[in-house]
Amino acid sequence: MEGLGVGSVLLTGCDGGLGLGLLKGLLEQPSPPRHLFAACLDPQGKHLAWDMVPPPPQHIPKPSCPLADVTDPNSIKAAVGKVREEVGSAGLNLLINNTGTTRRSTLATETAENMTLVYTTNTIGPLQTSQAFLPLLKEAAEAEGQREMSCSRAAIVNISSILGSIEVAEAWEERQDVCYRCSKAALNMLTKCLALEYGGSGILCVSVDPGCVTPPLGRGTGPVTVEESVRGVLGLLARLSATSNGTFWDWRGQSLPW
């Protein structure tokens, strides 16, 4: 496999976990992104654990670390400005909305406070970020106007979860987490809305379950290592095309029901 070849990527939630793993995986691609933006809550990138991230090839700049609180429109706007300074008229090829949070709960213990906090980060955050970066994504799509839809041209990838699938309603007995489930179900609907609206501009929009947040389930969908997840997610992104617009996938490359 040739890997995911993409000119510019903005990845949110790079303070640790899956975000850091995806950052590492992108740098290890045969053709790493020329512009890689590791958006995190720490403006100095102190918590990015750079010792875990391989140095980029000599012709690839070190990832930029714009401050990006996806719940703060001003923070997102500032990040857009920093990205535009570097990519210019080429635009942004790939936005990966990875930032997420959860609060463990049951239906009996769920609260309005939990619902609001988790929904704001997991659903409103990706909405605001996608809206703000739309002009840059459109520029990238137009710059590559002769090519088919793909993550290399222009795309929004929302990191979701199988727990947000209404049809599957996976692992209820093991993990109710109502606020998290509802936020990811809403994120999936957002993905469909983005696909319907932005698809005409050549921007591919998908939801992806990275497989790391689920407990043992018994049907082969239990937890995976970050390395396995990253390898699967990046392999999937390299294969997506126009027929994938507005769809839901897991890290193994399998289509998931909404």
Residues 6+ away with beta carbon under 8 Å from 240: 150, 151, 155, 204, 206, 249
For residue 88, tell me if it sits in a domain: yes
Nearest alpha-carbon partner for 158 in 95, 221, 116, 203: 95
Q: Would residue 2 count as lying in a domain?
A: no
195 in a structural domain: yes
58: left (phi over 0), alpha (psi -120 to 50) or beta: alpha
Question: Does residue 58 belong to any structural domain of this protein?
Answer: no
pLDDT tens, position by position, 186-218: 999 999 999 999 999 999 999 999 996 444 444
Enclosing domain of residue 181: 67-250
Q: What is the CATH number of the domain that holds 205?
A: 3.40.50.720
Strand order in the sheet with 155-159: 35-38, 8-11, 94-97, 155-159, 204-209, 247-250
| Residue 135 falls inside a structural domain | yes
Q: What is the domain count for the chain?
A: 1
Distance CA 240, CA 253 (A): 10
* Domain presence at residue 255: no
The answer as to whether 93 is a domain residue is yes
Print pLDDT tens along the chain (258 aa). 468 999 999 999 988 889 999 999 999 999 999 999 999 876 555 555 545 555 655 555 567 777 778 999 999 999 999 999 999 999 999 999 999 998 899 999 999 999 999 999 999 999 999 999 999 999 999 986 667 999 999 999 999 999 999 998 877 877 899 999 999 999 999 999 999 999 999 999 999 999 964 444 444 445 788 889 999 999 999 999 999 999 999 999 999 999
Neighbours of 187 (CB within 10 A): 24
* pLDDT, tens only, 71-89: 999 999 999 999 999 999 9
Which pLDDT does position 258 carry in this prediction? 94
All residues at 6 or more sequence positions from 107 whose CB lies less than 8 Å from its CB, including other chains = 176, 178
Residue 154 lies in a domain: yes
Q: Judge contact between 32 and 54, C-beta under 8 A.
A: no
